[in-house]
Amino acid sequence: MKPPRRLSDFPYVRVRIACTNCPRKGSYRLARLAASYGPEMELDLLLERLSLDCHVRRAVADSPARYGDFRCGAHFFDLAGSPRPPDLPASTMRLRVVKGGR
């Protein structure tokens, strides 16, 4: 699977972000993000925006020499490692719930 580059390519309904170097975690609705940043927003840029308040990122920006190669490790949780399969379209999921409830 080719990694998505833009928000409109993102395969999941929820956009989850995790950081390897700080306890920061986030979960955003794809529709919300698309509404505020536009569907053509590049994912790299989006990640940067969403992790602006990371302590590590700030500390590194304040004194880069002190931290060397240490960086905020923010990444899209569901795109890292072995990605899970894309979400089913919302309409399909709703149908399934109705069926199972009977």
Interacting residues toward Zn ion by CB under 5 A: 19, 22, 24, 54, 56, 72, 74
Sign of CA dihedral 28, 21, 42, 50: positive
CB of 97 to Zn ion, least distance (A): 36
Any idea which residue has 């590049």 for tokens?
42
CB of 68 to Zn ion, least distance (A): 16
Q: Which helix (H) or strand (E) holds 64?
A: helix 64-67
CB of 46 to Zn ion, least distance (A): 15
Residue with Cβ nearer Zn ion (33 or 72):
72
Residue with Cβ nearer Zn ion (33 or 60):
60
Give the length of the chain.
Answer: 102
Residue with Cβ nearer Zn ion (7 or 57):
57
CB of 56 to Zn ion, least distance (A): 4
Residue with Cβ nearer Zn ion (8 or 27):
27
Q: Distances from the Cα of 56 to the Cαs of 3, 11, 16, 96, in angstroms?
A: 26, 28, 19, 43
For residue 25, count CB atoms less than 10 angstroms from its CB and return exposed for 0-12, middle for 13-18, buried for 19 or more.
exposed
